[in-house]
Amino acid sequence: MATATAIVHGVPRPADEAARLTAVQATQLLGTPPEPEFDFLAGLAAQLCDAPFAFITLVDAERVWVKAAVGFDPAPGARDDSLCAWSILEDAGLASADLAADPRFAALPTVRGAPRWRMYHGANLVTADGHRLGTVCVLDTRPRTLDPRQRSQLAGLARQAMALVEARSLRGQLAVARGALDAHAGTDELTGLANRGQLLGRLALEVERARRFDTPMSVVLVDLDHFKLVNELHGQGVGDQVLRTVGGQLRNHLRQLDLAGRLAGEQLCLVLPGTPAAGALEVANTLREKIAGTVHRCESQVLSVTASFGVAGIEPGKPKTMEALLKAADAALVRAKDHGRNRVEA
């Protein structure tokens, strides 16, 4: 049971306030628009209790958020002016047959002025851990009480509303997890770049976009020079670290709309939408110099590596297929290797 602590700004706070607020935030409902499922439960509460007003609320640190409303559409109100802030202090919720006769509530704006509420009955939304997040409540402009059947039904609706809150929160968590899983599925674990499937899918999309809108785009193939020797002389762990470092250099140098991916082994690839071949050559030369100037310190070993670059582009009025673009970039990469490596060819 969560007992009340000292009064703060007129309304006591529960002893579990910190954990309760964490649970309220975890619902991800604060500030969200109305939803039919919650509206239905609020409407059912009003109908079963023969009440002109019904609400589903969440009590945040300083505000009370109304997720569903019947009979009145209030803006988020101050917690210290809210009957629901009092309801979450009680195990069974707040029941007041005449608010105007209760010194705690008689001066509240909604009791003293419009809509001049008199009766309030709230059933709390309670988590499995016992934290009271808010209420399903009904109100009337005439003093009265709910009969036992109505009180029981209102408590049942509060449990249904809590189940809906938890289900909605779970859906949100699953959506986040699914997004993370999708992102992971398209990522090369070693380099952190796009994997082959993600890379080729994006490349096909950008080639089609360049063809449809007659805009330039370029692709750059990057191959680490003599990388097989790095693995043979220094070990695969060192080779993996070099690949991770180079992958980070590519990723950090590109614009947000560009994509860097691992095509195969030590061969990496850049997709540069909206970039003509001349611009791609500048990007490639900058990266070539950055890679060549990097000293890798891996497992007490120090080494440097270089990379060869092959650039191919699509120019307006000269469309290419994805296969032709990759073939052209690969031919340029072969020339870079044949001409001494640590070079850029287009």
Q: Which residues form the catalytic set?
A: 266
Asked whether 240 and 232 are in contact (CB, 8 A), the reply is no
Beta carbons of 55 and 135 less than 8 angstroms apart: yes
Give the other-Cβ count within 10 Å of 191's Cβ. 22
Instruction: Check if the beta carbon of residue 156 is closer than 8 Å to that of residue 181.
Output: no
| 53-59: strand order across its sheet | 77-78, 63-70, 53-59, 132-140, 119-126, 95-96
CA-nearest of 346, 324, 322 to 336 is 346
Q: Give the span between the Cα atoms of 271 and 261, in whole angstroms.
A: 8
Residues 6 or more apart from 251 whose CB is under 8 A from it?
192, 193, 260
Length of the chain: 346
Q: Are 100 and 120 in contact (CB under 8 A)?
A: no
Q: Supply the DSSP symbol for 187.
A: B
Interatomic CA distance for residues 235 and 265, integer angstroms? 15
Question: For the purposes of burial, counting CB atoms within 10 Å of the CB of 28, is it exposed (0-12), middle (13-18) or buried (19 or more)?
Answer: middle
CA distances, 31 to each of 25, 60, 64, 80 (Å): 11, 11, 10, 19
> Euclidean distance between the first and final Cα of the chain, in Å?
73
